[in-house]
């Protein structure tokens, strides 16, 4: 007995250690997953708050911000409007036509309740969570207490696994499908029905699907109450416990066996008698149930306390079963098909009669899985009505078409009703309700009339938007014949909208407009890709025949199989923009022309004025004219660039080209291309002109063998360095203060100012040749590096 007691105590101690460890691991893994979900929810809420009203109005900015956030979080992000249409999808290039989200039920829930929700909605009625579909977190975009859109982010199983930690665990969704697992799979834990009934946060011991005994704990997640995390470990002793326990266990078992044999002989009759009575009672109860008769009374099981407890439990179970049968019978008499129960969030957990009606069994119908059996056109309205009732805590009442287990019967109209159940404190605990058949009461004709009215209303609303949108819209078939056009498009040709249908663009529109439009539509049919910003021009109808300009965009229209059935075209009138650009170009051209004329006039006046000065025309005049010509070259360069930033290499090449063509040896190049502003361009051109003129008169370019090196670099801080180095010329001495002319004053005083704030110019006169270093902040880096 002592050995047996020792073994029992060791067994209990080992199980306590395992249960404690499993409980701690389960709590830690649940906190990790909740933290990961909270991080993504808070990030989406911050994104919605930061974007504000620009979420839907500035799609390009929203797309760029969403892609930055998606890159930071390592997940795909989508932006939906209130109707659950995709505005932005970071998994698709910007501009790609987008459809709607597959998570319709969760999206409607988020819009109606204003709360975040996690969806594992599969694509199609027969899809499953194992088909590769990642879960998705949906967060509503709230403005003034109303949801104006929805943000989505995928939850990859790999990241959920990382958040859960290294210990063994399995994460289930609301339908008990595996979302992620660590160190095993669903077969390593008990069946879902056992897990669903297990108390939360308390370690349990049970039989796994693999047949092994495991210790496990079931935890609910704070961020999504529909999900359950099951942490588990193998139950039993570790391998190191057995060597010293085995002899004692064998001795204890021997003693227990002897005692058991002695007691068994004495108590055999006492135990067999109530067992036989229970067997007879079970057979009689089964026979009564099959015949619809009341169950027989429970027999006397004797005075043994355990059998008395069994008898009381059987009596309670039989009473509960009888009550359930009476409820189902009352529902059947009242015309109810299904009796359902849901948690406080409206997620189904029980549905008596549902499997027999639809063929969908647990756990498939749990959560919002029952929506898969509804007609596709009824799912969204049903979920919207369901969500409104859940928010207001009012009675649920909604009608929809249901797929039954008998496929030949078609769709069946039913009405689902339900009421909230609260506790004594008024806190919502669950929802209960029933589903009734309303096919006969509703009638096929009434249903068709309602659907037709809804379709007509929807078409009228879409037509009103189609006709009033301030751009031209048209749809053509594969033969490039118009299928439909709106009123704004019809004004281009001056014909009524119906006159376009069945005709080609070149038959009703000016050729200069129809030809590029038809070419773009043909390219869309050929490639399947949209054609954007196609320029078109043509005269508009009327007596004046004014020339108008448009930008056309063409997008493919595909059927459910992905085949292109047509091309939609959008024409935007950009005449005012084109006229503004033309006016600006004319103004710039006229300004450039007048500046060049002014410089030429100044050059002519200078030449005429210096012609009578003795000795000045050959030196002062040449220098002055050279400087004017340098300014003219800088002006021509900037005018060619539209007075925008210019590549530094082009600036250097433009100014030094005339000296290189005369045979002077000048090398130039750099480690990267640098953009300089208009002011910097003029300053650098004048500086290079002065340096080259001085080198040709007194420096390295004044004798054979002399050469000049012009190099530049761009630092990581955006500071550009331009160096001028002379070598091979006569020895150089620094000029005295009284011999420093315009060129020296330009280099020492004016150049640094013209190059911009914090610019530096260093002018040195070593014997081997003049060196100049200019350091300044470049306008911006060029697109490609080059060297010359």
Which range marks the domain in which residue 36 is found? 2-234
pLDDT number for residue 784: 37
pLDDT number for residue 522: 92
Which position has the higher pLDDT, 753 or 309?
Answer: 753
Flag whether 178 is in a domain.
yes
Same domain, 164 and 16: yes
3-state secondary structure at position 145: coil
Pairing of strands 771-777, 760-764: antiparallel
Same domain, 489 and 405: no
Flag whether 603 is in a domain.
no
3-state secondary structure at position 755: coil
Distance CA 343, CA 191 (A): 21
Same domain, 678 and 732: yes
With beta carbons less than 8 A apart as the criterion, state whether 1 and 255 touch.
yes
Cα dihedral 764, 765, 766, 770 sign: positive
Q: What is the dihedral of CA 9, 13, 18, 24, to 10 degrees?
A: 150
Same domain, 226 and 78: yes
- Cis amide leading into 363 (omega within 30): yes
Same domain, 196 and 87: yes
Flag whether 29 is in a domain.
yes
User: pLDDT tens digit string along 256-287?
Assistant: 777 777 766 666 656 667 767 767 777 777 66
Q: What CATH number is associated with residue 470?
A: 3.30.450.20
Give the pLDDT mean for 166-184: 87
Distance CA 87, CA 78 (A): 8
With beta carbons less than 8 A apart as the criterion, state whether 728 and 705 touch.
yes
In terms of average pLDDT, the best of 308-322, 621-635, 769-783 is 769-783
List the one residue out of 340, 455, 23, 384 whose CA is nearest residue 203: 23
- Give Cα separations from 671 to 648, 668, 715, 774, 786 (angstroms): 12, 11, 10, 16, 7
Same domain, 541 and 671: no
Least confident of 512-526, 590-604, 714-728: 590-604
Pick from 308, 329, 350: which residue ends a domain? 329
Give the pLDDT mean for 294-305: 69
User: pLDDT tens digit string along 614-635?
Assistant: 554 555 556 666 777 777 777 7
Q: What CATH number is associated with residue 216?
A: 3.30.450.40
Distance CA 413, CA 441 (A): 9
Same domain, 763 and 670: yes
The structural domain count of the chain equals 5
- Which two three-digit tokens encode residue 13? 């101690």
Same domain, 630 and 775: yes
List the one residue out of 442, 419, 434 whose CA is nearest residue 330: 434
Same domain, 475 and 434: no
Cβ burial of 384 (10 Å; 0-12, 13-18, 19+) is middle
Same domain, 428 and 357: yes
Per-residue confidence band for 720, with pLDDT thresholds at 50, 70 and 90? very high
pLDDT number for residue 335: 55
List the one residue out of 685, 625, 610, 605 whose CA is nearest residue 652: 685
Flag whether 497 is in a domain.
yes
pLDDT number for residue 252: 63
Cβ burial of 76 (10 Å; 0-12, 13-18, 19+) is middle
Q: pTM score, two decimals?
A: 0.39
Give me the chain's average pLDDT, please. Answer: 79
- Which two three-digit tokens encode residue 744? 């020296």
Does residue 426 surpass a pLDDT of 90?
no
pLDDT number for residue 322: 66
Same domain, 33 and 145: yes
With beta carbons less than 8 A apart as the criterion, state whether 769 and 694 touch.
no
Pick from 442, 462, 482: which residue ends a domain? 442
Q: Which residues lie across from 573 on neighbouring strands? A: 550
Pick from 274, 306, 329: which residue ends a domain? 329
The residue assigned the tokens 């009103």 is 464
Per-residue confidence band for 708, with pLDDT thresholds at 50, 70 and 90? very high
List the one residue out of 349, 346, 426, 353 whose CA is nearest residue 390: 346
Per-residue confidence band for 62, with pLDDT thresholds at 50, 70 and 90? confident
Flag whether 308 is in a domain.
yes
Give the pLDDT mean for 35-60: 83
With beta carbons less than 8 A apart as the criterion, state whether 81 and 149 touch.
yes
User: pLDDT tens digit string along 486-501?
Assistant: 888 888 878 888 888 8
Flag whether 579 is in a domain.
no
Q: What CATH number is associated with residue 743?
A: 3.30.565.10
Same domain, 277 and 354: no
Please list, in sequence order, all residues whose beta carbon lies within 8 angstroms of the beta carbon of residue 571, skipping any fewer than 6 positions away: 471, 472, 473, 474, 489, 492, 517, 536, 550, 551, 552
Distance CA 568, CA 475 (A): 4
pLDDT number for residue 409: 66
């Amino acid at each position: 007995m002592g050995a047996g007691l020792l073994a029992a105590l060791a067994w209990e101690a080992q199980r306590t250690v395992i249960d404690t460890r499993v409980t701690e691991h389960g709590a830690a893994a649940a906190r990790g997953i909740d933290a990961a979900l909270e991080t993504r929810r808070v990030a989406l809420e911050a994104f919605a708050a930061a974007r504000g009203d620009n979420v839907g109005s500035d799609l390009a900015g929203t797309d760029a911000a969403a892609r930055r956030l998606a890159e930071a979080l390592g997940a795909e992000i989508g932006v939906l409007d209130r109707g659950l249409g995709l505005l932005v999808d970071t998994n698709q290039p910007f501009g790609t036509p987008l459809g709607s989200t597959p998570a319709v039920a969760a999206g409607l829930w988020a819009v109606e309740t204003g709360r975040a929700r996690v969806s594992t909605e599969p694509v199609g009625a027969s899809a499953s969570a194992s088909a590769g579909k990642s879960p998705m977190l949906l967060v509503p975009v709230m403005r003034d207490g109303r949801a104006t859109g929805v943000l989505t982010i995928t939850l990859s199983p790999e990241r959920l696994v990382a958040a859960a930690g290294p210990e063994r665990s399995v994460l289930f969704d609301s339908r008990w499908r595996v979302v992620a697992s660590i160190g095993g799979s669903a077969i390593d834990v008990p069946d879902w029905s056992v897990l669903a009934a297990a108390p939360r946060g308390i370690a349990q011991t049970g039989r796994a699907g693999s047949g092994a005994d495991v210790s496990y704990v079931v935890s609910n997640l704070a961020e999504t109450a529909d999900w359950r995390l099951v942490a588990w470990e193998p139950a039993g002793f570790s391998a190191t416990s057995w060597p010293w326990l085995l002899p004692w266990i064998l001795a204890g078992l021997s003693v227990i066996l002897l005692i058991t044999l002695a007691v068994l002989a004495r108590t055999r009759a006492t135990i067999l008698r109530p067992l036989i009575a229970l067997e007879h009672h079970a057979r009689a109860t089964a026979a009564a149930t099959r015949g619809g008769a009341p169950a027989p009374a429970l027999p006397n099981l004797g005075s043994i306390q355990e059998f008395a407890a069994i008898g009381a439990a059987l009596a309670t179970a039989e009473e509960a079963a009888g009550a359930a049968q009476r409820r189902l019978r009352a529902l059947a008499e009242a015309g109810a098909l299904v009796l359902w129960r849901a948690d406080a969030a409206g997620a189904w957990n029980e549905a008596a009669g549902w499997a027999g009606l639809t063929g969908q069994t647990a756990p498939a119908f749990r959560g919002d899985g029952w929506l898969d059996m509804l007609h596709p056109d009824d799912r969204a309205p049903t979920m919207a009505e369901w969500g409104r009732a859940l928010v207001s805590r009012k009675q649920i009442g909604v009608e929809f078409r249901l797929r039954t287990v008998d496929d030949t019967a078609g769709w069946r109209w039913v009405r689902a009703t339900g009421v909230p159940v609260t506790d004594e404190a008024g806190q919502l605990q669950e929802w209960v309700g029933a589903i009734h058949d309303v096919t006969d009461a509703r009638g096929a004709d009434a249903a068709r009339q309602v659907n037709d009215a809804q379709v007509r209303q929807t078409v009228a609303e879409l037509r009103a938007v189609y006709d009033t949108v301030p751009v031209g819209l048209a749809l053509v078939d594969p033969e490039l014949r118009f299928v439909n056009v709106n009123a704004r498009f019809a004004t281009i040709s001056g014909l009524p909208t119906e006159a376009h249908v069945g005709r080609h663009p070149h038959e009703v529109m000016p050729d200069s407009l129809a030809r590029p439009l038809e070419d773009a539509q043909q390219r869309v049919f050929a490639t399947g890709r949209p054609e954007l910003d196609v320029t078109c021009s043509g005269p508009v109808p009327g007596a004046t025949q004014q020339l108008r300009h448009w930008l056309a965009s063409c997008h493919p229209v595909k059927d459910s199989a992905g085949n292109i059935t047509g091309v939609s075209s959008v024409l935007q009138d950009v005449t005012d923009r084109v006229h503004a650009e033309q006016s600006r170009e004319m103004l710039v051209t006229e300004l450039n022309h007048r500046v060049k004329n002014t410089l030429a006039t100044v050059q002519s006046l200078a030449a005429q004025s210096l012609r009578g000065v003795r000795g000045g025309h050959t030196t002062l005049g040449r220098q002055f004219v050279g400087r004017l010509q340098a300014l003219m070259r800088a002006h021509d360069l900037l005018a060619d660039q539209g007075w925008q930033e210019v590549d530094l290499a082009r600036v250097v090449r433009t100014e030094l080209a005339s000296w290189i063509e005369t045979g002077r040896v000048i090398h130039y190049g750099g480690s990267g291309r640098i953009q300089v502003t208009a002011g910097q361009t003029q300053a650098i051109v004048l500086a290079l002109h002065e340096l080259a003129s001085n080198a040709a008169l007194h420096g390295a370019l004044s004798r054979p063998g002399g050469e000049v090196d012009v190099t530049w670099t761009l630092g990581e801080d955006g500071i550009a360095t331009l160096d001028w180095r002379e070598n091979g010329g006569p020895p150089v001495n620094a000029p005295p203060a009284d011999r420093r002319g315009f060129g020296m004053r330009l280099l020492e005083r004016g150049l640094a100012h013209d190059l911009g704030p914090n610019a530096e110019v260093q002018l040195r006169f070593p014997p081997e040749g003049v060196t100049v270093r200019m350091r300044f902040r470049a306008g911006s880096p060029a697109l490609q590096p080059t060297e010359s």
